[in-house]
Amino acid sequence: MMASIDRRAMDDDGFRAEWRSWIAANYPSEMRNPLEKLTGEEARTWLRAQFRDGWRAPGLPVEAGGLGLPLPRQLIYQEELDRYGVARPLDHGLRMVAPILLRYGSQAQREHYLPRILACEDVWCQGYSEPNAGSDLAGLKTSGRIEGDCLVINGQKIWTTLATDANMMYMLVRTGGGTRKQEGITFVLVPLSTPGIRIRPIRTLAGEEHLCEVFFDEVVVPLANVVGEIGQGWTVGKALLGFERWSHGSPELIRYALKVLRQTAEAMGMAQTERYCEMADRYICDVDDSAALYEQVCRAAVHGKVAEEDFSMLKLFNAELLQRIVESTMDLAGQCGGIADVAPELGLTHDLEWLYMITRPVTIFGGTSQVQRNLLAVRALHLPKD
Amino acid sequence: MMASIDRRAMDDDGFRAEWRSWIAANYPSEMRNPLEKLTGEEARTWLRAQFRDGWRAPGLPVEAGGLGLPLPRQLIYQEELDRYGVARPLDHGLRMVAPILLRYGSQAQREHYLPRILACEDVWCQGYSEPNAGSDLAGLKTSGRIEGDCLVINGQKIWTTLATDANMMYMLVRTGGGTRKQEGITFVLVPLSTPGIRIRPIRTLAGEEHLCEVFFDEVVVPLANVVGEIGQGWTVGKALLGFERWSHGSPELIRYALKVLRQTAEAMGMAQTERYCEMADRYICDVDDSAALYEQVCRAAVHGKVAEEDFSMLKLFNAELLQRIVESTMDLAGQCGGIADVAPELGLTHDLEWLYMITRPVTIFGGTSQVQRNLLAVRALHLPKD
Amino acid sequence: MTERDEIEVLLENSAEDFLSSEFRDERLRNVYLGRNAYDRGFWRSIAQQGWLALRLPETLGGSGLQVRHVGILANAFGRRAVPEPLVACSLIPAVLAAHLGNGRWQEITGALVDGGRVIAVAWQEAPQRLDAEPLLTVAARAGGGYVLNGSKYGVVAGGWADALLVSARLDGEAALFLLPAGSAGLEITERLGSDGGTVALVKLEQACVPAQALLAHGSVVTEALELARDEAMLATALQLCGMAAAGFELTLEYMRTRVQFGRHIGSFQSLQHLAVDIGIQQALTRAACRAAMDRCEAAPGTIDARRAIAAAKARASDTGISAGRFGVQAHGAIGFAAEASIGLYLKGALRLAAYLGGGSQHRRQYRQLADLAQENA
Amino acid sequence: MTERDEIEVLLENSAEDFLSSEFRDERLRNVYLGRNAYDRGFWRSIAQQGWLALRLPETLGGSGLQVRHVGILANAFGRRAVPEPLVACSLIPAVLAAHLGNGRWQEITGALVDGGRVIAVAWQEAPQRLDAEPLLTVAARAGGGYVLNGSKYGVVAGGWADALLVSARLDGEAALFLLPAGSAGLEITERLGSDGGTVALVKLEQACVPAQALLAHGSVVTEALELARDEAMLATALQLCGMAAAGFELTLEYMRTRVQFGRHIGSFQSLQHLAVDIGIQQALTRAACRAAMDRCEAAPGTIDARRAIAAAKARASDTGISAGRFGVQAHGAIGFAAEASIGLYLKGALRLAAYLGGGSQHRRQYRQLADLAQENA
C-alpha cells in the first residue's frame, strides 16, 4: 500500500528529517553496519515495512508504484540509509527486474510483476552465468526451444545467489539464430516452481551455501514470459549488468573491513606501532579518496553526466582495496592468523578467515578484475583491443 | 702475453689465495664496490693487467688463449672478484664475441680476433637493436646487400653501449630470403672506421651519453667478416643473448642500492624507525634469497644442469627489486627527494635522482620485463602462447 | 564538485594557448645537461598574462582571484612540465601579501605584477618540517635594525631570486623580513631539482638588515604562512595532477601507435592493465583535488580543509611518480632517452612530489589532523 | 645444494605413492563444514610407514634420519594439503626425545613409533612469542609432585592429543612435564584452523602432576626446545613449499585447459604475468629452503642456521599464501567453490604461514639475528 502523502512535495530538509526518523524507528538496531547484504526473511521484513509506510522504491516512477523522486532526492534517501548503517537488501526485483520491465516489458508484464515486486510477493534471482560462461557471459549454452506458445528450457545456470530463497528467476537462454555469439539469446522470466527445475546450493570457501546451481530439464514456460523480442535478450540482459555495477561503487563494506583491521591491531597490541599506522594511513586515504570520487560521480550523475567507466574503475579499485585490507588484517594477526573462527581468548572478535574468504569473489564475480581491466583499457583509455 | 704457469695445476685453495692477493695488489682500491660497469680506459687498463700476468679469460680454452679453468674453478675466480668488490668490466670482446667465434667463427676469424680481444687491442660493441626493433629484435631492417665478395650495409642501429669507445662492432643485418622474420638475418663483424659509419651519442634521463645511435650509409665490409652462414645470423645472435642474460643474475648492484637506502635512512634520521626497518628487512631477504638462488643455479651449472629459465627469472626479479629499492630510497628522502645532485648539506652523499634514472633501463633493455614474462610463461610454466 | 565558473574556463583556455605557443620544450633539455632551466624572459611573459598576481587582492594591484583559479594554472603548468616556480614565487608571496600586505609590501606586489624581480620565500625550519611557526631562526634587534641567525630549508628558486622573504622569531613572536639577494650573512647552497628548477638551503649568519626589512610581526605572520603553505600544497597537487595527466596521455598515444611483434603495444594486455591502474589513480587524484579545493575555499585554514589538502597532496604525489614511471617503462628504450618528453614528466613529478611533502608524510598528516579534530571536539 | 641421497629419493617416492592412494581428498571437505579434519586412522597408518619416528634416534626405536628427510615428507604432506600435525606432533616430540630422552620417555617414543597415542607440545608462552625459554608458566613442588600454573599458546592439536608435553619454569630453570589429556587444572580452548587442523590455548590452573611427570629439567630443556622449534620452522617452510607448488601446478593446469572468450585463459597475458611472479617466488622459496636445510644440518642451533631458517620460513609463508590466492583468482568462480581443490591450498597456507611465525616476524628475526651475530663478533 502506498501512503497517501507525496514525498516529492516536501522540501529537501523536511524529506531528510522525516526519512531519517522513520529509519531510526523501523530499522532493527542490531542489524546496523553489517558486512553482508540483507537477505531472506530479514530483507523482506525490512522492505515490506518501507512499502507499508510509503518509502519503498525511491527512484521508480509514481505510475509504476514508486516514489518518483528526482535523482538529488534519491541521493538524500541513500545518504540517510548509509548514515544509519542500514544494510543493503538483496532486492533483485526492484533493482534489476523493475527497470528492465519499465524499459522492455509488456504492459501485461508490468501490471503483473511490478506490484508483486514492491510488496515482496515475488523474490527474484538471476540466471546468467553458466559453468562455461562466466566472465565470457555471451558464451552461454542453456537452450530455449520454442514449441507453440511455450519456451522449453534445458541446461544449467550457476552462481545464482539464493535461488533457494527465491520464487522467480530472470534468465538468459539461447534460442538460436544470428552469427555473433551475442545474438540468438532471449531474456525470460521463469517461476522456480515450474516442473523440471532442480536447485543445488554450492558450498563455498567461506563455508556458506548462498550460491546455487540451477538445473533445467524440459522446463516449460509461456512465451508471454519473454521480455523484449526473442533473440534480443543480450541487449536486455546487458542493460541489467549496467545497473548492477552501480552497487559496487560504495565503500561501506570497506569501512567495515577497516574496522576489523583496527580491532585486530588492537587485539595484537599493535595499534600504536608505525607498522599498523602506516598501513592504516594508506588504507584510510584510499577509502576516503574513493568515497570522494564516488560522491563526485554521483553528483555528476544528477547533472545527467553518467560515466559508466568511472563506476567500473571504482568497482575495480574498491574490490582490490577490500582484499588488500583483509589480507593485511590476516598478516597483522601473525601467529593468530588462519583460525577459522572468532578467538576471543586471543582478542579476535571477528572471524578473519571468513572475512578473507568472503572477500575473494569481489574480484571474480561480475567480471574478474582482469576482464574489467580489459574493458577499461579499451573503453576508458581507448587503447586498441587485445 | 700469457704467463707460463698453468693455473689449472694448482689446488683450489692455492688458486684462490694467489688470485686474491693478485687482485688486491692490482685492482685500484678507489674503484671498489662501484655501481656501474668499468668502461673505457679504466676497463682496458684492468683487463690488460690481467692479460699481462696470465689471469685473463678464465673460461676460455687454453688453445684459444684463455686459462681453460673448469667451471668450479671459474666460480672461485668470480667469487674472489666479488669479494673484493671489483667492478665488472664492459668486455663484449671476451664475453660475447669470443664464445661466438669459438662456436661459429672460421679458423681465420679466430686466429685474427681472439688474440686482439685478449690483449684489448680491439674494443667491441653490439649492433642489435634498431628504432623499430627493440623488444622485437627480429624485426630489424638494417640491410646487407651482397656485392661481389662484399656486404654493403645501410640502415641504423641504436642503444649501442659506448660505440664511441669501440673500434669494432658485431651486428645483425638483414640480407634477405626466408619467410619468417627470423630468417634472412646475417651476423657480421664491422670495423667502425669503415667509411659511411656515423656515431651519435644519445643523452639519457641519467644525463649520460653512453648509449649511441650508429648510422650506416653504403658501408662496405668483406664477406669474410660474416660469422656463420649468410642468412643464419639469428641463430648466432640468439646464442649471444643467452650469454648476456648470465650477467644480470648477480645481485651486486642491488647490494649497492641497499647501501644507499641505508645511508639515506641515516641521513634522514630514520634508520631506527619501524618504517625503514620493515622496508629494509624485506629487501634484505629479497636480496639474500635471490643470492641463494643464484648460487644454487651456478652450482647446478657446474654439474651441467643449466636452467636458462632460472637465469631469466633471476634477471627479472633482480631488475624489479633494484627499482623497488631505489624507489623506496627516493621515498625515504621525503622533501629532500628529486634533487639532481648530491646534497651533503642535507646528509645525502649519493645522487639519488641519478640512481633512480640509471636503474630505469634494467627492466627495458635486453627485453622488457613484460617481454621476459611472456617468454617465461611459455618456456618455464608451459602456458599456451598469447 | 562545483561547476566551473567563466573565469576558470577562460584561464584554462588562455593558459593552454599561451603555453603551447610561448613555452619551448627544448628549454627543458637543460634538465638533462644539469642546468637550471628557469628563464627570466618567460617569467616576465607570464607576469604579463597577469598570472603572477592572480591571487593578489585588487587593492594591491592583483586580480583578486581564488585558489581554484591558481589551481587551473598550476594544472596547465604541470601539463607542460614548466619548471618556473609559479607556486613558490608567485602564489606564496601573493597569499602572504594578501594577509599581511600594506605599503611596505610594494616591492613584492610590484614584482608579482610585472615579473621584473623574483621573490623567494624562506620559511621551512628543517628539511622535513612543514610547521609554519618560525622557531630556530631568530631575529634580534641591533642598532636601528635586526640581525638574523638560522637556517631555512627547501627554498625553491632561492638562488635565482632577487630577494628573499624570511620568517624568523622576534621577541618571542613570528616575524617576516625581506632580504635582498647578496645580503651580507646570507649564504645560499643551491641544488638543481630534477624538474629543472632549484632548491636551496639558506643560512643566515649574523645577517644584518635595516628596520624597514621587517614586513610583519606577530601571530598573524604564522597564520598567513599557514594559509600560504596550504594553498601551495593544493596548487602543487594540481600541478602534479596536470603533469600525471599529460604524461599519461603521451604514453597512451605512444601505446596506440608504437608497433612491436606486429601489434600495437597498447593492445598487449599486461601494458593495458598497468595503464588502467594509472587511470584509476588519476581519477582518484582528480577527485581528491576537487574535494580539497571545495573545502579549502569553503573553510580555509580549518582542520577539515587541511585534511582534504593532505589527502590531495599525498595522492597527487604518488600518482605523479607512478604515471611518470609507467610512462618511461611503456615507452621502452626511447623512454630512457632525453629526446623523448616522457622522462621530463617523471623527473618533474619526483621533485614536485617531494616539494611540501609527499605520500607518506601527508597520509600521516591526514591521520594526525583527525586525531587533533577529535581532541578539539 | 647438496645432491639428494638415496633415502631422500626413496622417501619422496614412497610418500607420493602412499599419499596418492591412502589420503582421501574428500576428507578435506570437512574443512568447509567447520569440522576438525584430523583422522586417527590416517595417523596410525603414517606411523606404520615409520614416518612419525623418522627423526627419533635408533636407540629410541626410531629411524634416526636427518631433518632433510623430514623436509621431504613435509613437502609431500604440503603437496596434498594433509592437515595431520606431522611437524607439531611428530617432529617436535621426536627432536625433544632425541635430546632429552631416556627411559621415562617411553610413552612418547612409543606413541611416535605406533601412532596409537598423540602427543602435543605446549611450549609457547605468548601468542606471538617464539622464545623457547619458559618464563611465565611456573611449576612448584607440592607434596611428592608438582603444581603447574600458566598459559600456553598456539598448541597445535592440543585438544586432539592424548597427552601434552608442557614446558614450565621450575626452581628458576626450564623443565618439561608430561600431562595426560583431561588432567585436572588443564583447560583447553580449541579453535579450528583454516587447514582443517586445530590450535589451542592451554591454561594450567593449579594443575597437579605426580613426580614422574617431570621428564627433564635444566638448561638442556630450553636448548632442546630451541632445536625442535628451529627444525619445526624449517619443516613447515617445506610443507608450505609443497603446498605452494602443488596449488600452483593445479592452477597452471586449469589455465592450460579452461577456455573463455574462445581462448585458453592461460594464454591471456595478464594471467601469465601474475603466474610468472608466483613462479619466481617459488624458485626463491625453494632456494631459501635448500640453503636453510644445508646450514641447519651443518651447524644446527647456530645463528647462521637460525637466520637461514628465518629467511626460509618468511619466504615460504608469503609464497604459500600468494600461490593460493592467485590460484583461487585464476580459477575464477569455481575457485570460490568448495568442490575445487585450490581453496584448500589457500586455506592451508594461511594456517601454516601463521604457525611459528610468518613473513614479517621472520624477516625481523633475520635482522635481529644479524645484529646479535655482530654483537657476539
Which has the minimum average pLDDT: A46-50, C191-195, D32-36? D32-36
Cell matching residue A259: 574496522
Spell out which residues of chain C touch residue A286, defining contact as CB-CB under 8 Å: 284
pLDDT given for residue B240 in this prediction: 64
Q: What share of chain A has pLDDT > 70, as a percent?
A: 95
Do residues C152 and C204 make contact, with C-beta atoms less than 8 angstroms apart? Answer: yes
Angle formed at CA A269 by CA A263 and CA A270, multiple of 5 degrees: 80
DSSP string, C314-336: HHHHHHHHHHHHHHHHHHGGGGG
Q: Tell me the CA distances in angstroms from C252 to C216, C255, D288, one per residue in order.
A: 50, 5, 40
Q: Which residues pair with C203 in a beta bridge?
A: C151, C187
Q: Tell me the CA distances in angstroms from D120 to A68, B149, C217, D86, one per residue in order.
A: 66, 83, 74, 11
Write down which residue in C83, C117, C151 finishes a domain: C117
Percent helix, strand, coil in chain D (nearest 5)?
A: 60, 20, 25
Residue C373 pLDDT more than 70? yes
Residue of B270, B274, B374 best to disrupt the A interface, most CBs of A under 10 A? B274
Residue B242 pLDDT more than 70? no
DSSP string, A318-352: HHHHHHHHHHHHHHHTGGG-SBSS-BGGGTB-S-H
Are residues C289 and C160 both part of a single domain? no
**Chain D residue nearest residue C271, CA to CA:** D270
Are residues C21 and C104 both part of a single domain? yes
User: Would you say the C-alpha torsion B24, B25, B30, B31 has a positive or negative sign?
Assistant: negative
Do residues C224 and C95 make contact, with C-beta atoms less than 8 angstroms apart? Answer: yes
Q: Do C283 and A313 touch (CB under 8 A)?
A: yes
Q: Does B198 touch chain A (CB under 8 A)?
A: no
**Chain C residue nearest residue A274, CA to CA:** C364
**Cα of D237 to nearest chain A Cα, Å:** 14
Burial class (CB in 10 A: 0-12, 13-18, 19+), B307: middle
Residue C1 pLDDT more than 50? no
Residue B5 pLDDT more than 70? no
pLDDT given for residue A5 in this prediction: 65
Place of cell 594486455: C269
Cα(B166)–Cα(B41) distance, integer angstroms: 11
Q: Do A384 and C284 touch (CB under 8 A)?
A: no
Q: How confident is the model at residue B2 (pLDDT cuts 50, 70, 90)?
A: very low
Q: What is the CA radius of gyration of chain D?
A: 21
Q: SS3 for chain B, per residue?
A: CCCCCCHHHCCHHHHHHHHHHHHHHHCCHHHCCCCCCECHHHHHHHHHHHHHCCCCCCCCCHHHCCCCCCHHHHHHHHHHHHHHCCCCECCHHHHHHHHHHHHHCCHHHHHHHHHHHHCCCCCEEEECCECCECCCHHHCCCEEEEECCEEEEEEEEEEEECHHHCCEEEEEEECCCCCCCCCCEEEEEEECCCCCEEEEEECECCCCCCEEEEEEEEEEEEHHHEECCCCEHHHHHHHHHHHHHHCCCCCHHHHHHHHHHHHHHHHCCCCCCHHHHHHHHHHHHHHHHHHHHHHHHHHHHHCCCCCHHHHHHHHHHHHHHHHHHHHHHHHHHHHHCCECCCEHHHCECCCHHHHHHHCCHHHCCCCCHHHHHHHHHHHCCCCCCC
Are residues C139 and C100 both part of a single domain? no
Find, among D219, D224, D197, D237, the residue nearest to D68 by Cα.
D237
**Cα of D257 to nearest chain C Cα, Å:** 20
Domain count, chain D: 3
Are residues C37 and C113 both part of a single domain? yes
Q: Does A330 touch chain D (CB under 8 A)?
A: yes
Are residues D205 and D340 both part of a single domain? no
Are residues C139 and C82 both part of a single domain? no
Write down which residue in C59, C82, C117 finishes a domain: C117
The residue type at A69: L
Q: Which residues pair with B168 in a beta bridge?
A: B124, B191
CATH code, D185: 2.40.110.10
Are residues D12 and D25 both part of a single domain? yes
Q: What is the CA radius of gyration of chain C?
A: 21
φ, ψ of residue A174 in degrees (nearest 5): -95, 115
Are residues D197 and D232 both part of a single domain? no
Are residues D141 and D96 both part of a single domain? no
| C-beta neighbour count of D257 within 10 angstroms | 11
Q: Does B273 touch chain A (CB under 8 A)?
A: yes
Q: Do B202 and C259 touch (CB under 8 A)?
A: no
pLDDT given for residue A26 in this prediction: 96
**Chain C residue nearest residue B371, CA to CA:** C270
Do residues D185 and D150 make contact, with C-beta atoms less than 8 angstroms apart? Answer: no
Instruction: Go through D16-47 and write b for each residue having 16 or more CB atoms within 10 A of its CB, e for each that does not.
Output: eebbeeebeeebbbbbbeeebbbbeebbeebb
User: Would you say the C-alpha torsion B283, B288, B293, B297 has a positive or negative sign?
Assistant: positive
User: Could you tell me which residue, C131 or A237, shows the higher pLDDT?
Assistant: C131
- Which chains have at least 3 CB atom pairs separated by less than 8 Å from chain A? B, C, D
pLDDT given for residue B255 in this prediction: 85
**Cα of D148 to nearest chain A Cα, Å:** 20
Mean pLDDT on D329-334: 95
Spell out which residues of chain C touch residue A381, defining contact as CB-CB under 8 Å: 252, 272, 275-276, 279
The residue type at D321: I
Q: Do C315 and A285 touch (CB under 8 A)?
A: yes
CATH code, C341: 1.20.140.10
Are residues C16 and C51 both part of a single domain? yes
Q: Do B275 and A278 touch (CB under 8 A)?
A: yes
Q: Does C260 touch chain D (CB under 8 A)?
A: no
Q: What is the CA radius of gyration of chain B?
A: 22
Mean pLDDT on B317-323: 95
Instruction: Go through D261-286 and write b for each residue having 16 or more CB atoms within 10 A of its CB, e for each that does not.
Output: eeebbbbbbbbbbbbbbbbbbbbbbb
- Which chains have at least 3 CB atom pairs separated by less than 8 Å from chain C? A, B, D
Cell matching residue D81: 594439503
Residues 6 or more apart from C128 whose CB is under 8 A from it?
A: B268, B334, B335, B336, C357, C361
**Chain D residue nearest residue B294, CA to CA:** D287
Domains detected in chain B: 12-89 (1.10.540.10), 124-232 (2.40.110.10), 250-381 (1.20.140.10)
- Which chains have at least 3 CB atom pairs separated by less than 8 Å from chain D? A, B, C
Burial class (CB in 10 A: 0-12, 13-18, 19+), D12: middle
Cα(B79)–Cα(C320) distance, integer angstroms: 42
Query: How far from the centroid of its chain's Cα atoms is residue B120's Cα?
Result: 17
**pLDDT, tens digit, 9 for 90 and up, residues A129-161:** 999 888 788 899 999 999 999 999 999 999 999
Place of cell 607518506: C360
**Cα of B347 to nearest chain D Cα, Å:** 25
Nearest to D367 among B284, B380, B385 (CB): B284
| C-beta neighbour count of C232 within 10 angstroms | 25
φ, ψ of residue A196 in degrees (nearest 5): 100, -5
Residues 6 or more apart from D57 whose CB is under 8 A from it?
A: D64, D97, D98, D101
Residue A248 pLDDT more than 60? no
Do residues A322 and A257 make contact, with C-beta atoms less than 8 angstroms apart? Answer: yes
**Cα of C240 to nearest chain D Cα, Å:** 29
Spell out which residues of chain B touch residue D285, defining contact as CB-CB under 8 Å: 289
Residue D353 pLDDT more than 90? yes
Residue C98 pLDDT more than 50? yes
Q: What share of chain A has pLDDT > 90, as a percent?
A: 71
| C-beta neighbour count of A382 within 10 angstroms | 12
Q: What is the largest CA-CA distance in chain B?
A: 72
Cell matching residue D211: 613426580
Mean pLDDT on D141-162: 97
Are residues C241 and C186 both part of a single domain? no
Nearest to B205 among C153, C201, C336 (CB): C336
Place of cell 627570466: C40
Residues 6 or more apart from C261 whose CB is under 8 A from it?
A: B135, B136, B139
Q: Does B277 touch chain D (CB under 8 A)?
A: yes
**Chain D: which residues have CB within 8 Å of chain B?**
1, 252, 255-256, 264, 266-269, 272-273, 275-277, 279-280, 283-288, 290-291, 311, 314-315, 360, 363-364, 366-367
Write down which residue in D187, D217, D247 finishes a domain: D217
**pLDDT, tens digit, 9 for 90 and up, residues B180-223:** 889 999 999 999 999 999 999 999 999 889 999 999 999 999 99
Q: How many residues belong to chain C?
A: 377
Place of cell 592429543: D161
Q: Does A203 touch chain D (CB under 8 A)?
A: yes
Q: SS3 for D193-214, per residue?
A: ECCCCEEEEEEEEEEEECHHHE
Are residues D193 and D296 both part of a single domain? no
* Pairs across C and D, CB distance < 8 A: 10
User: Would you say the C-alpha torsion C214, C217, C223, C224 has a positive or negative sign?
Assistant: negative
**pLDDT, tens digit, 9 for 90 and up, residues C350-366:** 999 999 999 999 999 99
**Stretch (H or E) spanning D41:** helix D40-48
Spell out which residues of chain C touch residue A285, defining contact as CB-CB under 8 Å: 311, 314-315, 363, 366
Query: How far from the centroid of its chain's Cα atoms is residue A301's Cα?
Result: 19
What domain range is D289 assigned to? 221-376
Cα(D358)–Cα(D322) distance, integer angstroms: 13
| C-beta neighbour count of D326 within 10 angstroms | 23
Spell out which residues of chain C touch residue A374, defining contact as CB-CB under 8 Å: 269, 272-273
Q: Do C314 and A382 touch (CB under 8 A)?
A: no
Do residues D342 and D258 make contact, with C-beta atoms less than 8 angstroms apart? Answer: no
**Cα of C370 to nearest chain D Cα, Å:** 28
Which has the minimum average pLDDT: B239-248, B322-331, D1-10, D240-249? B239-248
Q: How confident is the model at residue C309 (pLDDT cuts 50, 70, 90)?
A: very high
